[in-house]
């Protein structure tokens, strides 16, 4: 970026400048980038833990996040100004990073060893592999599970690491406690095939019963962190299912046996109440229906049939029901005995298998007469490994809160059920090759429909999936486990009225038709997005290849979610839209719309001056209306909207903007303008106090920001209100990012003294020249215009997880303005804030218009809600 030396105002760049503020900034460097918060971290090995079970090896490892926080000096100045650097960061227990979950089959332990080796997970902390490799001799990895003893020598020999064995039950409980406290919607119920995610208040979690179904079953009463007791158990568990199943069928694997059960009919093996009392005759006196199992395998006693004459499918189902019901029953009785209100089931027996969960839930429901519910954990297989991870003294995850984690699903996720095969994918090229190979293999499927055998959790390597046609995978309903991104700087937005009740999404995707609609929208938009992405990287062959891979990967995500909407946890539109952006980033498309954004910004800035002139000629009241109209009209420029993309073919953006403004006609579909005007201008002679500070959540680049939001910001500044422009931390569609805002403001400031002084005051502009410094000193300190990032990279915003900067500036804010469909309609239309809130958007989607405002496409929403 070239510095415009001819101008008295310097747009500061990301390169350090020799400017007066240097010392000041330097003074803050330590606090701004406390890169080593745990000075001993690099010596610790707190980044890998193992749970080596009889059939699966589970790995949990932590990788350091490359610090993506902006290195922008202007942002720093804003933060300095706001005094938000002190304190907050200091208290973060650890730096950001990612918690990965991987599984291997125990009998393929070599693959696991290779994975660890290739990822250098055995080399200790993130820095020690740069350091003296002799450190490794003393490397110790926390491990649990029976295999921690069995394979200790192998790990020593192959990787030179010792396994430090942690008690299995300690780990289980620590893992479950962590997940239930730190991961949003970790728990879910499963009744008749329907998953429902449950958010448990971390303050009301204990006591609970944890039922771990491994070979046998342990029932653990958990009273708190490290406070638990094994109160019961049963020897009829997963081992019984698999053991008896092996003896009775010719299955060669547990999963095969489970899959068989899907096609089974247990009436051929079980004696039902109807078999005893005659068909179709219930035994209502004791509340048993004719289809209740009176005796598992009891029917086999009545017939002179050989084992071979029974279908293995029926036997498998009968076994599964017998064991699941029994576990459910004993669990309920124990919960009752100890007065525990919640029962969580975990362990390898469940494996996300829908029928198993249904059977357990049914038993708990049946025996408790509906007073108790079985709950399951999304990370059920990883409790032990996570617990082992937590047993490191300095893992630092103890105090993390649910809002500091963001779960993301990498491209492999749609194809995976849990295990990992083959070598890890080390770089982008390997990822792309994998995607390409996949499509060549699966010729019969046009879109990569993930009807494939389990591959991996998607963070390392994949087996090339084989198409199995229409065969339903036994764990098709199994949930994926993503990568937990730990972002310690995220906070809950302090102005939410009730953070516990807050739900960002306006549209409920659990309505299947809604889901289908949005999937169709996203699929249709995909080719255009791929084109834009490829073009943004110069249209090179490499970019094309990446673009194709992205298209396939994202289609696969969509297909996976259509198959199992709960696959990635609780699904919301915000999550879906963010996933698209993340998927782009995964294929290293930094900013697909960058050239479009720049072009539109330039075109809009060219007419900015004229617009200001026009506005300044109006009286106060007309001006306010014109400003709001302008925001709504300019909000038409949205590359996320199919309808708007079509508009672009019809004219220049200025033409479109003018057309859009001319069409503005009150009343809008939702029109609270008069209430807003009264708050701003008062009525009669009463002049209300201006707002102290307004947060403007901006949407699109180009006309939207330049001709819509900036003039509104200018008006607020003029009225004495501090303005904070809140932009995305990472690009999403053509949304303007926090990084781009200072440049736009600087350009705009050339045409406007109000903006210039405010930007200087807010630290967005750096005066290098003495004379301008002098001139600014003449004025009393201006009302500042600032920019902060919101902490997300999505076209929507989830106020449970925003940047700490935003949280800090919000504390003094008494007005927030949400602009655009993503932030004001798709999400937050019903969000309630402690301060005045104005939600402005043009509805650029017919269905949404009908559904939310009973209107039509291009209708406008101006929703004003005074402070709660």
Name the minimum Å distance from CB 324 to other proteins: 11
Q: Is-contact 333 217, C-beta < 8 A? A: no
What DSSP assignment string belongs to 76-90? HHHHHHHT-STTTGG
Alpha carbons within 13 A on the beta-carbon side of 380:
26
Pairing of strands 162-165, 140-144: parallel
Nearest one of 257, 422, 279, 421 to 355, comparing CA atoms: 257
**CB nearer to other proteins: pick between 96 and 238:** 238
Binding site for other proteins (CB under 8 A): 146, 149, 167, 169, 214-216, 218, 230, 232, 234-240, 242-244, 246-248, 252, 269-271, 273, 275-278, 281, 285-286, 292-304, 307, 310, 315, 322, 325-326, 329-330, 333-334, 336-337, 367
Q: Residue length, the chain?
A: 868
Name the minimum Å distance from CB 225 to other proteins: 18
Name the minimum Å distance from CB 268 to other proteins: 11
Q: Is-contact 524 555, C-beta < 8 A? A: no
| Gap between the terminal Cα atoms of the chain | 44
**CB nearer to other proteins: pick between 54 and 565:** 54
**CA 268 to CA 96: how far, in whole Å?**
55
Q: How many Cβ atoms sit within 10 Å of the Cβ of residue 815?
A: 24
**CB nearer to other proteins: pick between 331 and 506:** 331
Name the minimum Å distance from CB 203 to other proteins: 29
Name the minimum Å distance from CB 110 to other proteins: 17
SS (H, E, C) 376-408: EECCHHHHHHHHHHHCCCCCCCCCCCHHHEEEE
**CA 4 to CA 750: how far, in whole Å?**
12
Name the minimum Å distance from CB 293 to other proteins: 4
**CB nearer to other proteins: pick between 230 and 854:** 230
**CA 660 to CA 666: how far, in whole Å?**
13
Name the minimum Å distance from CB 275 to other proteins: 7
Q: How many Cβ atoms sit within 10 Å of the Cβ of residue 824?
A: 27
**CB nearer to other proteins: pick between 335 and 707:** 335
Name the minimum Å distance from CB 320 to other proteins: 13
**CB nearer to other proteins: pick between 275 and 463:** 275
Name the minimum Å distance from CB 273 to other proteins: 8
Name the minimum Å distance from CB 390 to other proteins: 19
| Alpha-carbon dihedral angle through residues 571, 574, 577, 581, given to the nearest 10 degrees | -110
**CB nearer to other proteins: pick between 6 and 252:** 252
Nearest one of 657, 654, 638 to 646, comparing CA atoms: 638
Name the minimum Å distance from CB 288 to other proteins: 9
632 phi and psi, to 5 degrees? Answer: -65, -40
Name the minimum Å distance from CB 57 to other proteins: 16
Q: Is-contact 212 172, C-beta < 8 A? A: yes
Q: How many Cβ atoms sit within 10 Å of the Cβ of residue 16?
A: 12
Name the minimum Å distance from CB 269 to other proteins: 7
**CB nearer to other proteins: pick between 69 and 295:** 295
Q: Is-contact 104 59, C-beta < 8 A? A: yes
Pairing of strands 293-295, 483-486: unpaired
Name the minimum Å distance from CB 336 to other proteins: 6
Q: Is-contact 711 627, C-beta < 8 A? A: yes
Buried (b) or exposed (e) across 716-750, using 16+ Cβ within 10 A?
bbebebbbbbbbbbbbbbbbbbbbbbbbbbbbbbb
Q: Which residues neighbour 561 within 8 Å (Cβ) at sequence distance 6 or greater?
A: 515, 519, 567, 568, 571, 576
**CB nearer to other proteins: pick between 245 and 414:** 245
Q: Is-contact 639 593, C-beta < 8 A? A: yes
**CB nearer to other proteins: pick between 324 and 601:** 324
Angle, helices 620-634 vs 673-681, to 10°: value is: 130
**CB nearer to other proteins: pick between 56 and 573:** 56
Q: From the centroid of its chain, how far is CA 800? A: 11
Which residues on adjacent β-strands are paired with residue 52? 57
**CA 227 to CA 233: how far, in whole Å?**
18
**CB nearer to other proteins: pick between 323 and 825:** 323
**CB nearer to other proteins: pick between 63 and 329:** 329
Q: Which helix or strand (DSSP H or E) is residue 313 part of?
A: helix 312-337
Pairing of strands 374-377, 836-842: unpaired
Name the minimum Å distance from CB 236 to other proteins: 6
**CB nearer to other proteins: pick between 84 and 248:** 248
Name the minimum Å distance from CB 325 to other proteins: 7
**CB nearer to other proteins: pick between 239 and 547:** 239
What DSSP assignment string belongs to 753-804? HHHHHHHHHTTSSEE-SHHHHHHHHHSPPPPPEEEEE-S--SSS--TTSEEH
**CB nearer to other proteins: pick between 336 and 625:** 336
Name the minimum Å distance from CB 310 to other proteins: 7
Name the minimum Å distance from CB 294 to other proteins: 4
Name the DSSP class of 463.
P
Farthest-apart Cα atoms in the chain, separation: 105
**CB nearer to other proteins: pick between 117 and 277:** 277
**CB nearer to other proteins: pick between 304 and 446:** 304
**What are the distances in angstroms from CA 305 to CA 247, 269, 756, 857?**
17, 11, 91, 67
- Going 758 to 759 to 763 to 768, the CA torsion angle's sign is negative
């Amino acid at each position: 970026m070239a510095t415009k030396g001819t101008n008295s105002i310097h747009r500061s760049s990301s390169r350090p400048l020799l400017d007066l503020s240097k010392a000041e900034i330097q003074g803050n460097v330590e606090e701004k980038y406390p890169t080593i918060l745990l000075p001993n971290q690099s010596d610790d090995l707190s980044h890998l833990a193992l749970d080596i079970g009889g059939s699966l090896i589970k790995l949990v490892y932590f990788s350091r996040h490359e610090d993506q926080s902006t290195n922008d000096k202007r942002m720093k100045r804003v933060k300095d100004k706001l005094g938000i650097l002190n304190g907050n960061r200091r208290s973060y227990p650890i730096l950001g990073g990612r918690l990965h979950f991987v599984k291997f089959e125990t009998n393929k332990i070599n693959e696991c060893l290779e994975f660890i080796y290739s990822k250098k997970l055995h080399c200790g902390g993130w820095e020690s592999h740069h350091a003296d490799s002799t450190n490794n001799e003393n490397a110790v990895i926390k491990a649990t599970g029976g295999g921690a003893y069995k394979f200790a020598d192998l790990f020593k020999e192959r990787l030179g690491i010792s396994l430090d064995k942690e008690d299995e039950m300690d780990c289980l409980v620590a893992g479950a406690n962590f997940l239930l406290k730190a991961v949003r919607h970790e728990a879910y119920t499963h009744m008749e095939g329907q998953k429902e995610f449950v958010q448990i208040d971390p303050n009301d979690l204990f006591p609970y019963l944890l039922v771990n179904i491994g070979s046998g079953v342990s029932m653990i009463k958990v009273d708190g962190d490290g406070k638990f007791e094994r109160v019961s158990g049963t020897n009829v568990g997963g081992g019984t299912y698999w053991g008896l199943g092996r003896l009775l069928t010719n299955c060669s694997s547990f999963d095969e046996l489970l899959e068989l059960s899907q096609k089974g009919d247990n009436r051929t093996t079980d004696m039902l109440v109807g078999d005893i009392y005659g068909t179709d005759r219930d035994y209502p006196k004791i509340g048993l229906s004719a289809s209740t199992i009176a005796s598992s395998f009891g029917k086999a006693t009545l017939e002179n049939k050989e084992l071979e004459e029974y279908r293995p499918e029926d036997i498998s189902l009968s076994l599964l029901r017998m064991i699941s019901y029994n576990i459910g029953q004993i669990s309920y009785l124990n919960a009752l005995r100890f007065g525990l209100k919640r029962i969580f089931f975990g362990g390898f027996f469940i494996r996300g298998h829908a029928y198993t969960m249904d059977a357990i839930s049914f038993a708990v429901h049946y025996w408790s007469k509906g007073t108790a519910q079985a709950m399951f954990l999304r990370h059920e297989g990883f409790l032990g490994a996570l617990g082992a991870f937590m047993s490191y003294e300095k893992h630092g995850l103890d105090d993390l809160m649910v809002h500091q984690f963001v779960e993301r699903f990498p491209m492999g996720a749609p194809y995976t059920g849990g295990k990992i095969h083959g070598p890890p994918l080390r770089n982008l090229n390997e990822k792309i090759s994998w995607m390409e190979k996949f499509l060549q293999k699966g010729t019969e499927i046009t879109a990569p429909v993930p009807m494939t055998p389990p591959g991996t959790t998607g963070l390392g390597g994949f087996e090339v999936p084989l198409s199995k046609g229409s065969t339903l995978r036994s764990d098709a309903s199994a949930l994926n486990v993503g990568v937990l991104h730990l972002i310690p700087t995220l906070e809950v937005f302090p102005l939410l009225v009730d953070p516990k009740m807050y739900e960002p999404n306006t549209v409920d995707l659990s309505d299947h038709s809604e889901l289908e609609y949005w999937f169709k929208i996203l699929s249709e938009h995909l080719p255009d997005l791929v084109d834009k992405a490829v073009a943004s990287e110069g249209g090179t062959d490499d970019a094309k290849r990446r673009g194709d891979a992205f298209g396939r990967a994202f289609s696969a995500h969509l297909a996976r979610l259509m198959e199992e909407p709960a696959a990635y946890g609780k699904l919301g539109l915000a999550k879906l839209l963010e996933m698209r952006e993340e998927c782009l980033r995964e294929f290293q498309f930094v900013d697909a719309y960058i050239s479009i954004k720049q072009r539109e910004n330039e075109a809009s800035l060219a007419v900015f001056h004229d617009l200001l002139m026009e506005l300044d000629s109006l009286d106060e009241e007309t001006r306010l209306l014109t400003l709001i109209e302008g925001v709504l009209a300019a909000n038409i420029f949205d590359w996320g909207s199919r309808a708007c993309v079509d508009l672009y073919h019809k004219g220049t953006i200025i033409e479109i903007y003018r057309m859009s403004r001319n069409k503005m006609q009150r009343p809008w579909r939702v029109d609270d303008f008069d209430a807003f005007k009264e708050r701003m201008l008062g009525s009669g002679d009463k002049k209300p106090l201006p707002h102290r500070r307004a947060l403007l959540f901006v949407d699109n680049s180009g006309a939207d920001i330049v001709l819509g939001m900036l003039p509104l910001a200018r008006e607020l500044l003029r009225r004495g209100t501090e303005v904070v422009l809140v932009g995305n931390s990472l690009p999403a569609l053509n949304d303007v990012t926090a990084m781009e805002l200072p440049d736009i403001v600087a350009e705009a400031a050339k045409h406007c003294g109000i903006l210039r002084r405010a930007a200087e005051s807010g630290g967005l502009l750096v005066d290098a020249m003495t004379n301008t410094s002098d001139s600014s000193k003449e004025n009393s300190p201006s009302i500042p215009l600032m920019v902060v990032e919101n902490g997300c990279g999505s076209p929507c915003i989830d106020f449970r997880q925003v940047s700490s900067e935003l949280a800090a500036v919000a504390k003094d804010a008494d007005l927030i303005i949400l602009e655009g469909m993503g932030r004001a309609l798709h999400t937050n239309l019903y969000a309630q804030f402690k301060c005045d809130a104005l939600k402005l958007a043009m509805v650029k989607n017919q269905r949404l218009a009908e559904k939310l405002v009973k209107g039509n496409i291009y209708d406008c929403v101006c929703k004003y809600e005074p402070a709660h």
